[in-house]
Amino acid sequence: MTTVALEHPTPFEEHRQDLVRVYVWELPIRATHWLIFLSIMVLSVTGIYTGHPFIIVAGPARDHFVMGWMRTIHSYSAIVFTLAVLSRVVWMFVGNRYARWDKFIPASRKHRRGLWGTFRFYIFNLRKPPGFVAHNPLAGLAYLAVFGLYFLMIATGFAMYSGKASVGSPMRMFEFLVPLVGGLQTARLLHHITMWLLLGFMVHHVYSGILMSNVEANGTMESIFSGFKFVPREDLVEAEHHLIDHQEVPDAKP
């Protein structure tokens, strides 16, 4: 599609009027994204309550069982979070080319070169960012670190759960995690710190997504709902030229 110039176009709109509609984020990517987001929010609220109860209900505790409900919701949300993270990891190997593991690790020379160019763009030292359809290399590395935090959260959570599980409970199988995370007290501390790191990342993630969606005018924020981004044709050709040469670009829609 060809865009219409705005009254006050951005630098990207001035020089990149020819945009191509590209299906970047498949349904499993979008579904796991929102499941991870929602489960983190629920886990944060219920986790904070478990450590510092902020709801006081009059009457016998047996009639209300607020802490019990919070722990139950926390446990089920942890299962949703774990399955969503594992599903996303699986999709790094079975999804389309934009979801693959090599978008998170600068395995190719183009991605390694793009690290410096993207960094220069982020510090306002470069007018035009390197052309990447999905995650740029710097963002990919950041998301790789976030996945590390996900797995730390999962490991510490299951370690703590195994420590209070009754004899014979299936959760006892995760007892091997306790020494790996430094014991139950260390696991609790790491679990708490990781929660705040993930919440801080979420704030930055939303801010940067809105910023880049406006600056690049490529529908970044909208793409997590629809799956489609609007990519300058020159960037699509540059980033995917080897696929275009082999006629493997069914995702591009003019």
pLDDT tens-place string over residues 127-172 = 777 777 888 888 889 999 999 999 999 999 999 998 888 887 888 8
Query: Which range, 52-61, 163-172, 198-207, has the best average confidence (pLDDT)?
Result: 198-207
Domain presence at residue 62? yes
User: For the chain, how big is the Rg over CA atoms in Å?
Assistant: 22
Is 55 inside a domain boundary?
A: yes
Question: 166 lies in a domain?
Answer: no
Strands 252-253, 19-23: pairing kind: antiparallel
Order of all β-strands in the sheet with 19-23: 228-232, 19-23, 252-253
136 within domain boundaries: no
Find out whether 146 and 198 touch, Cβ atoms under 8 Å: yes
Angle between helices 137-164 and 66-94 in degrees, nearest 10: 140
Closest to 232 in 3D by CA, of 13, 26, 23: 13
117/121 Cα distance (integer angstroms): 6
Which amino acid is located at 65 in the chain? F
Q: How many domains does the chain have?
A: 1
115-138 pLDDT per residue, tens: 888 888 777 777 777 777 888 888
* In-domain check, residue 110: no
> By 3-state DSSP, what share of the chain in percent is helix, strand and coil, each rounded to 5?
65, 5, 30
Q: Domain span at residue 44?
A: 29-92
Q: Is residue 60 part of a domain?
A: yes
Q: Give the chain's mean pLDDT.
A: 82
Q: Which CATH number belongs to the domain containing residue 43 in this structure?
A: 1.20.950.20
- Cβ distance 152 to 187 under 8 Å? no
Q: Is 213 within a domain?
A: no
> Could you tell me if residue 187 is inside a domain?
no
Is residue 7 pLDDT above 60, yes or no? no
Share of the chain above pLDDT 70, in %: 83
pLDDT of residue 115: 84
Burial 148-183 (b: 16+ CB within 10 A, else e): ebbebbbbbbbbbbbbebeeeeeeeebeebbeebee
